[in-house]
Structure 1
Amino acid sequence: MNIGVAVVPPNTPLRLSLTHIPPSHALSPINNPTTQGRRRNLAVLSRKRNLDYHSSDWRVISETMESKGVSPEVNTSLYADIEPYNTGFLKVSDIHTVYYEQSGNPDGHPVVFLHGGPGGGTSSKNRKFFDPHFYRIILFDQRGAGKSTPHACLEENTTWKLIEDIEKLRTHLQVSEWLVFGGSWGSTLSLAYSESHPDKVTGLVLRGIFLLRKKEIDWFYEGGAAAIYPDAWEPFRDLIPESERGCFVDAYHKRLDSSDKETQYAAARAWTKWEMMTAHLLPNEATAGRGEDDRFCLAFARIENHYFVNKGFFSSDSYLLDNLEKIKHINTVIVQGRYDVCCPMMSAWDLHKAWPEADFRVVPDAGHSANEPGISKELVAATEKMKFIIKGGAP
């Protein structure tokens, strides 16, 4: 079923558009008779109108929602700041220990937030995409990032080790299945995790799609994005002698892996500033300022570069697209900024063409960051959409 592309005009109230809701995989945290009854009622209502229960037609869904007393216009505002009710450290290997936290409703539907980078770590702002009365919000810092230890460590740090960690955390927290939410590298990891453990994923919310293919790396680090941000590119370029500019990723790897700490930090600052300066459609001083935080820069640059040098540890350049059949039954929302320079829309477009069943939302006045106003609105709307589905279509 091809639902096309939804381009959302600026300052337009978002309306809930439900797509691809197989009864066998409705987003219920448990086999609750009440939830099952609500799901049956929604299916019966659709059948009475001679309509397909899987229909993505907004009129059908709008009528269904209104008949149940639900406004078709949904919340798109970030939720208020909250504090975690539980924090901890989970030892996932002889080397690595990961930080995790839980906030929101301890009895709510679990959602795991997969941060970007890799190496970016989590932030208290990440909790604000989710209704804290409905969701059990789980954040964790991936190996070497944020509060996880050892800091900026590359040893035993691969995509597949991170997937193992996600499963260890799920088991540790006694979660049977969860909604998976990730942007940028978080979208990469969300897809890889879901393709490895589709039975544990009740839904996907993906932002700023990054499939970690060579053409995406080349676009950002070998001159493509430089045509749009030449002023930000030049400091990044100038750290590398002309004789080594055949591959900037490799040249930076040499410096980020140097035994000399000052060489490491200089490369880490330049690498991080380049990405932070291009993350928004318009200049953002707070994001750009992260390039001055040496601790953040070291983990962000070292881990990110390590993954890129190793091609994401995938067996082929098209690995994530090649394995999509494993997850096409999962309810999914894809949110993409039209003018994303870090993860250009070509990747989201390729994912959309390969997975037309997913709800594809293009924000016309946004770049890469989840904090872009249009992006954050769509992400909150997506979690609200998932909430409606989890409830079985009932208010």
Structure 2
Amino acid sequence: MSRVLFPNIGAYQQEWLGVGDGHQLYLEQSGNPNGIPVIYLHGGPGGGSSKNHRRYFDPEKYRIILFDQRGCGRSKPSPSLHQNTPNHLINDMEAIRKHLKISQWLVTGGSWGTTLALLYGIAHPERVLAFILRGIFLGTAAEYDWLYTQDGAAGFFPEYYREFIEQCADIQCASTLQGYYDLLTGDNEIAAIAASKAWCLWELRLSTIEHHNIEPHHITDAHQALCMAKISSYYFVNNCFIDEGFILTAIEKIKAIPGIILHGRYDMVCQMRYADKLVKAWPNAQLQILPKAGHGGFETQTIDGFCKAADTMASFIAERGS
């Protein structure tokens, strides 16, 4: 029987945590204050957390921690590129952990959240009980090329890609990715808003195989779109500020930590091959291929897989602790 999300619950604590550099992180907790600490890392970069992310986890078993990464969502200021790199985000996670007086936690996330989770684990393996990662993204040049050149996902969605590159048609730039970054960080606010909606529309159209005919009017939150597009393009033109191939090279640091990897067979944002490469290099990770899922975090099989993985990890962590 397929699992559905746990019932909608409210947060029992919400706050803004100062982490330096002028940044304040939106931070919330829900579920059982005495449960297994779990942190969920949202996608993007720049995507922001959702109340539905709480619903992957049994609220009786888990102390559920969500936050908006610096510069986006409800964090302040947003959107902001100031002092915004993976190292800053890793330090922010450590600031959250210490603030909440947690010694170890289950680290989970989706899409870009998997990248950040892996980077955090490599930097602080002693703080990680286990991982649940959905839609692997390793931050390599081939992955950017797949998304933003005509030789990748554009081959499956040529009409949508033509719409996507129209935003950059009138500017001189080395690549579509660079063109978007220039528009999104330029002085023309109207052009930046239009570019942010086009950026999010392209990714949204690639993200799901359960929903069709996604049009510009479906991008309803202009602030969220601007955060997502501006921060993502900034990260991607800078190769996510990580060396090519770094995660696979450094995976030795977390090889003893168990992980469940969920990946949609038809994920057109993050290709399956990178999840496969990851588990080949990480003997304690188990790859679960979702045969009728794409990239979206709330497709039917993805919800089923994530909720079951969270229950499996709750049992594993409880048994290991007893």
- Say yes or no: does 1:78 pair with 2:5: yes
- Say yes or no: does 1:262 pair with 2:187: no
User: Are the equivalent residues in 2 in contact too, given 1:276–1:287 (CA < 8 A)?
Assistant: no
2:207 matched to which residue of 1?
279
Deviation of residue 375 (structure 1)? 1.1
Q: Which is higher, the Rg of structure 1 or of structure 2?
A: 1
Deviation of residue 225 (structure 1)? 0.6
Deviation of residue 283 (structure 1)? 2.3
1:214 matched to which residue of 2?
141
Aligned counterparts of 2:12 and 2:294: Cα–Cα separation in 1: 33
Q: Deviations over 1:301-349 (max 9, x none)?
A: 00001110111111x2101111101001111000000000000111111
Query: Equivalent residues in 2 for 1:325-336 (5 A)?
Result: 325-336=252-263
Which SS does the other structure have where 2:20 is aligned? coil
Query: Equivalent residues in 2 for 1:143-222 (5 A)?
Result: 143-222=70-149
Q: Deviations over 1:200-230 (max 9, x none)?
A: 0001000100001000000011021111112
Aligned counterparts of 1:231 and 1:104: Cα–Cα separation in 2: 44
Aligned counterparts of 1:388 and 1:286: Cα–Cα separation in 2: 39
Aligned counterparts of 1:91 and 1:286: Cα–Cα separation in 2: 38
Q: State which drifts further: 158-167 or 342-351.
A: 342-351
Deviation of residue 246 (structure 1)? 4.7
Aligned counterparts of 2:197 and 2:134: Cα–Cα separation in 1: 25
The size of the alignment, in residue pairs, is 321
Deviation of residue 94 (structure 1)? 3.2
Q: Percent same amino acid among aligned pairs?
A: 40
- Say yes or no: does 1:382 pair with 2:309: yes
Aligned counterparts of 2:91 and 2:113: Cα–Cα separation in 1: 15
1:54 matched to which residue of 2?
none
User: Are the equivalent residues in 2 in contact too, given 1:239–1:267 (CA < 8 A)?
Assistant: yes
TM-score, normalised to structure 1's length?
Answer: 0.78
Deviation of residue 77 (structure 1)? 2.8
- Say yes or no: does 1:130 pair with 2:49: no
Match of 1:318 among 245, 255, 260: 245
Distance 1:394 1:176, change over 3 A: closer
Query: Equivalent residues in 2 for 1:302-313 (5 A)?
Result: 302-313=230-241
Distance 1:85 1:146, change over 3 A: same
Q: Deviations over 1:271-290 (max 9, x none)?
A: 11110111101325789765
User: Are the equivalent residues in 1 in contact too, given 2:201–2:215 (CA < 8 A)?
Assistant: no
User: Are the equivalent residues in 2 in contact too, given 1:181–1:206 (CA < 8 A)?
Assistant: yes
Aligned counterparts of 1:192 and 1:288: Cα–Cα separation in 2: 34
Tell me which amino acid in the other structure corresponds to 2:121: S
Deviation of residue 244 (structure 1)? 4.1
Query: Equivalent residues in 2 for 1:83-122 (5 A)?
Result: 83-122=10-49
2:158 matched to which residue of 1?
230
Gaps of 5+ in 1: 1-12, 15-75
TM-score, normalised to structure 2's length?
Answer: 0.95
Aligned counterparts of 1:279 and 1:206: Cα–Cα separation in 2: 16
Deviation of residue 292 (structure 1)? 3.4
Aligned counterparts of 1:146 and 1:78: Cα–Cα separation in 2: 23
Query: Equivalent residues in 2 for 1:18-29 (5 A)?
Result: none
Gaps of 5+ in 2: none
Aligned counterparts of 2:95 and 2:86: Cα–Cα separation in 1: 14
Tell me which amino acid in the other structure corresponds to 1:248: T
User: Are the equivalent residues in 2 in contact too, given 1:276–1:288 (CA < 8 A)?
Assistant: no
- The runs of at least 4 aligned residues of structure 1 exceeding 3 Å deviation read 242-246, 284-290
2:219 matched to which residue of 1?
291
Aligned counterparts of 1:245 and 1:201: Cα–Cα separation in 2: 42
Compute the RMSD of aligned alpha carbons: 1.9
Tell me which amino acid in the other structure corresponds to 2:176: F
Deviation of residue 391 (structure 1)? 1.7
